[in-house]
Amino acid sequence: MTCREQRGRWIELARAGSRPGPALESHLGVCAACSRVWEDQLALGTALAGVAAENAAVAVPRGVEARVLAELAPRPRRWLPATVAALAASLAAFFAAGPYVARGPAPGPSASAAGGPFLAIPFVAPLAPYERAEVQRMKLPVAALVADGFEVYAPDMAGAITADVLVGQDGRAHAIRLVAEVTR
């Protein structure tokens, strides 16, 4: 074993006030670093013994030791069942919601009315509170909507849908609202 690996045992010997064994004494005679650590630990042990002797005359009120030990004793974890229940509920809600896919309404008579909700484009950062935005009406290819993660039910994937697009001041589209049916 190396000096560093043995120092823990030597420190405990010094704290206990024990004398080093013959192997340690011979090593301390050769290794200056270990000799310095041994002397420091002996001095520390002497200083702590002096402090303990000074404080031995101080009267400790009854029950202090029991209260300190009770405070240090391990406590039952009462928060653990509530944490497990909250975690289980959040996992159940997560899996019940299904995968994160923004689902747009199917184009048709029900989706043709303007004023429906805007649907956030998946994986695009939302608008910042201070950011200006404007609504632009444009024709969007059905294939582009499918590529962005929207479920579009259209007979012709080569067609286009008229939609209102919410565009931020940086020119990025953040949300869409379908206005008209698929056109060719």
Cα separation of 151 and 162, whole Å?
16
pLDDT at 7: 74
Most confident listed range (14-23, 47-56, 155-164):
155-164
What are the φ/ψ torsions at residue 182 (nearest 5 degrees)? Answer: -65, 130
If one counts every other C-beta atom within 10 angstroms of the C-beta of residue 121, the result is 19
Q: Which residues contact 151 (CB under 8 A, 6 or more apart)?
A: 101, 103, 104, 106
Q: Give ∠ CA 157-161-162 in degrees, rounded to 5.
A: 170
Total domain count, the chain: 2
Hey, what are 105's tokens?
A: 């309404």
Evaluate whether residue 154 is within a structural domain.
Answer: yes
Residue that finishes a domain, picked among 72, 101, 133: 72
Mean pLDDT, rounded, for 140-163: 82
Cα separation of 106 and 101, whole Å?
14
Report the DSSP beta bridge partners of residue 135. 166
Amino acid at 111: A
Mean pLDDT, rounded, for 70-85: 73
Evaluate whether residue 27 is within a structural domain.
Answer: yes
Q: Is the pLDDT of residue 130 over 80?
A: yes
Residues 65 and 9 in one domain: yes
pLDDT band per the 50, 70, 90 thresholds, residue 184? low
pLDDT at 67: 79
Most confident listed range (33-42, 60-69, 80-89, 110-119):
33-42
Location of structure tokens 């653990």: 80
Most confident listed range (56-70, 81-95, 121-135):
121-135
pLDDT at 115: 60
pLDDT at 98: 55
Query: Between residues 179 and 183, which one has the greater pLDDT?
Result: 179
Evaluate whether residue 100 is within a structural domain.
Answer: no
Evaluate whether residue 171 is within a structural domain.
Answer: yes
Q: Which domain holds residue 41?
A: 3-72
Evaluate whether residue 50 is within a structural domain.
Answer: yes
Evaluate whether residue 46 is within a structural domain.
Answer: yes
pLDDT band per the 50, 70, 90 thresholds, residue 40? confident
pLDDT by residue (tens digit) across 87-122? 888 877 766 665 444 444 444 443 444 567 888 887
Q: Report the length, in residues, of the chain.
A: 184
Evaluate whether residue 164 is within a structural domain.
Answer: yes
Residues 66 and 126 in one domain: no
